[in-house]
Amino acid sequence: MIDSPSRARNGAAGRAEREGDHAAFDPAPYREPLIAIVREIEAMDAVDERALDAVLRKHPRDGRGFFSRAEIIAGYRAFAPDAGFALDERSFVARVRRRPVRSQSGVTPLTVLTKPFPCPGRCVYCPNDLRMPKSYLSDEPGAQRAANNRFDPYLQTWNRLAAFHATGHSTEKIELIVLGGTWSFYPEPYQIWFAKRCFDAMNDFGGAIDGRADATLREIDYGAFEAAAPEGVRSGPFYNRVVTQQLRAQGASEVDDRESASWEELAESQRRNEGAVCRNVGFSIETRPDHVSEEEVLRIRRLGCTKVQLGIQSLSDPVLEAIDRGHTVDETRIAMTRLRRAGFKIHAHWMPNLLASTPEADCDDFDRLFDDPDFRPDELKVYPCSLIETAELMRHYRDGTWRPYEHDELLEVVSHALEKAPRYCRLTRVIRDISSDDIVVGNKLTNFRELAEKALEERGGRSVEIRAREIGREDFADEAAVLRMTAYASGCGDEAFIEFVTADDQILGFLRLAFPKPGGFCSEIEGAAMIREVHVYGGALELGARGGQHAQHRGFGTRLIEEARRLSRERGYATLAVISAIGTRGWYRKLGFRDGTLYQHLEL
């Protein structure tokens, strides 16, 4: 998932969490107060912010400060062998962990950003922060972390894993999310190197190896990019020109050996990850529809990707032309069909309130997303257009050709989206996490999704998209699980969304199964049914751990695979393929799948 620096952290533990350095903390000098804090937390019936604050105030750090959650967890781990604590580590960490929602979907998402680089787009709404990859702002939380790590993939990944571990989140099942500009526009050697170094960091962290000191970084002053910019409106070509000039001036206009790796080197790092403690169970990149060629689809699959974030923005050609998007609806249609044929999960980005659109047109546009079989994304981000001062859209705002929607207009569009999204789609985000300081005019509320959900409920509506139905950490009995299937057509065949749900329709796990028509471009999977995703909900558990009353590790994944086998046989398929992540290959082998070149296969 991802939090915001603009969102206040309340309470003593929150302030300490913000100010602390997890990696540098040594609990030894604080043995007495930390043990006292641990024992008081163990004695509580429930731990909330107010109760934890009261404990921390009784046992201040150095007589004046407050211990953070990460420091409390570090103290538990340091002193547990001889202190005789009542709770085991997993139970204790669950009590004090901040933002358990981050890993309650069953995996721990880890976001990294690519470096600033020219972009093929010229979109009028796109911010032009020269210190960042295109479309990102320097005060977004993920962007801040990337800049602090000089955009190095190893440092970003390793340090984020360390922060997760320090704050009690599982680091054994990692969903890697690569953001930043248009991935497909970066040179291939950079793509291979970037992916490899992310895998290297996961392998090293799980093996208690700290390779950060060995990271070879370019001495690039990204702050100079901003200083080199003239005043005035900043368009896409402006961004590309300044970034290119600055990269060239600092000797970094071409990829060199420090940002290059071979396919063989990447494959070796992937093989290590198959049995690593910290495994990659999902890998996504983001790109544009006009850069999704058949060759690019096969290349990102070879990198280990399982999901593609695709900026479709609108399904109206007049709107795409008005925003200078640079591609058509037909190109979006082709791109989504190619990705689906190759088994990828498709995570679309859709933007209401664009230039030349209206609230009514946006609602119709959203309906087209799921009425037309050529689209129907698996996941969706709804990003209402925000006006950023460095975007060319400022000119249209000043001359009156664009305006931000009023609160009630935007509320209607977002609540319509929540109501109309089908049960096989997950609305991962509603409203982009942009600091209100960066937004010139328009919505600045970060809880807009909550407001839209309330508006929908008040008018008797209900959202059935996946995120609204996730079981989270709630307990349930096995007999409460019901198997349900939703069938629908896609641009290249038929789909089956198979899910285990409770009696009140909370989702425990699901599988996406495709029955493609003949005529694909990848010979390895021609004629095979395709598992595009298997996901079981509940808090992310360690590999091999049992789920107790939670959904993970209770056999739901295996039962979903069995149902996919049965349905595929009924449809006459001889082979069932899966677009597996690197870290899930071993699990599929245990279920009888054999390795292919880019996929794994089960003979039926």
pLDDT at 3: 33
* Within-domain flag for 189: no
* Within-domain flag for 105: no
pLDDT at 93: 83
Distance CA(107)–CA(583), nearest Å, equals 12
Query: Which one of 469, 493, 510 terminates a domain?
Result: 469
Under DSSP, the state recorded for 115 is P
pLDDT at 15: 39
* Within-domain flag for 31: yes
Q: For 408-413, what is the mean pLDDT?
A: 98
Phi, psi of 140 (to 5 degrees): -70, 145
For residue 324, give the nearest of 237, 241, 383 by alpha carbon.
237
Do the beta carbons of residue 93 and residue 73 sit within 8 Å?
Answer: yes
Do the beta carbons of residue 604 and residue 569 sit within 8 Å?
Answer: yes
pLDDT at 2: 33
Residue 105 binned pLDDT confidence (cut-offs 50, 70, 90):
low
Distance CA(326)–CA(345), nearest Å, equals 24
User: Which residues, listed in sequence order, are joined to residue 513 by a DSSP beta bridge?
Assistant: 496, 531
Tokens of 490: 């896609």
- Tell me the pLDDT tens digit for each residue of 129-155: 999 999 999 888 889 999 999 999 999
**What range does the domain containing 331 cover?**
297-469
Do the beta carbons of residue 480 and residue 524 sit within 8 Å?
Answer: no
Do the beta carbons of residue 369 and residue 315 sit within 8 Å?
Answer: yes
Q: Which long-range contacts (CB under 8 A, 24 or more apart) does 269-275 make?
A: 269/196, 269/199, 269/200, 269/203, 270/199, 270/304, 270/582, 272/199, 272/203, 273/199, 273/202, 273/203, 273/582, 273/583, 274/582, 274/583, 274/585, 274/586, 275/586
Res 73 pLDDT > 80: yes
Residue 353: C-alpha distances to residues 7, 202, 407, 425, 442 (Å)? 24, 39, 12, 22, 10
* Within-domain flag for 393: yes
408 and 526 assigned to the same domain: no
H or E stretch covering 350: strand 345-350
489 and 380 assigned to the same domain: no
Least reliable range by pLDDT among 84-88, 216-220, 522-526, 563-567: 216-220
Least reliable range by pLDDT among 116-120, 527-531, 585-589: 116-120
380 and 425 assigned to the same domain: yes
Least reliable range by pLDDT among 266-280, 295-309, 466-480: 466-480
Q: In what order do the strands lie in the sheet with 507-516?
A: 482-490, 493-501, 507-516, 529-536, 575-578, 600-603, 594-595
- Tell me the pLDDT tens digit for each residue of 216-257: 777 788 878 877 776 654 566 788 888 888 888 887 766 677
Q: For 515-527, what is the mean pLDDT?
A: 96
Q: Helix or strand or coil: residue 13? A: helix
Q: What is the torsional sign of CA 340, 592, 423, 142?
A: negative
- Matching residue, tokens 């998007």: 325
434 and 493 assigned to the same domain: no
Q: What is the torsional sign of CA 179, 183, 185, 188?
A: positive
452 and 475 assigned to the same domain: no
Q: For 113-121, what is the mean pLDDT?
A: 93
Supply the CATH number for residue 589's domain. 3.40.630.30
Name the percent of the chain lying above pLDDT 90. 66
Supply the CATH number for residue 304's domain. 3.30.750.200
- Tell me the pLDDT tens digit for each residue of 326-336: 999 999 999 99
Q: For 422-441, what is the mean pLDDT?
A: 93
457 and 499 assigned to the same domain: no
Residue 551: C-alpha distances to residues 33, 72, 256, 428, 543 (Å)? 36, 28, 46, 20, 14
Do the beta carbons of residue 593 and residue 602 sit within 8 Å?
Answer: yes
Q: For 477-497, what is the mean pLDDT?
A: 92
Q: For 413-442, what is the mean pLDDT?
A: 95
326 and 443 assigned to the same domain: yes
Query: Which one of 469, 490, 509 terminates a domain?
Result: 469
Do the beta carbons of residue 536 and residue 508 sit within 8 Å?
Answer: yes
Query: Which one of 444, 469, 494 terminates a domain?
Result: 469
Phi, psi of 527 (to 5 degrees): 85, 5
Q: Is the pTM of this model over 0.75?
A: yes
pLDDT at 249: 84
Q: In what order do the strands lie in the sheet with 307-313?
A: 108-113, 173-179, 279-287, 307-313, 345-350, 379-382, 426-430
460 and 582 assigned to the same domain: no
Give the residue with greater pLDDT, 472 vs 363. Answer: 363
Q: Which residues of 582-603 are buried (b: 16+ CB within 10 A; e: fewer)?
A: bbbbebbeeeebeeeebbbbbe
Do the beta carbons of residue 410 and residue 383 sit within 8 Å?
Answer: no
310 and 459 assigned to the same domain: yes
Q: Give, in degrees to the nearest 5, the angle at Cα 440 between 437 and 445.
A: 60
518 and 481 assigned to the same domain: yes
* Within-domain flag for 198: no
547 and 449 assigned to the same domain: no
400 backbone φψ class: left, alpha, beta (φ>0; ψ -120 to 50): left
Q: Helix or strand or coil: residue 279? A: strand
Q: Provide the mean pLDDT of the chain.
A: 89
* Within-domain flag for 226: no
* Within-domain flag for 434: yes
Number of domains making up the chain: 3
Identity at 223, one-letter amino acid code: G
477 backbone φψ class: left, alpha, beta (φ>0; ψ -120 to 50): beta
* Within-domain flag for 186: no
Tokens of 581: 């992540």
Tokens of 316: 């109206």
321 and 460 assigned to the same domain: yes
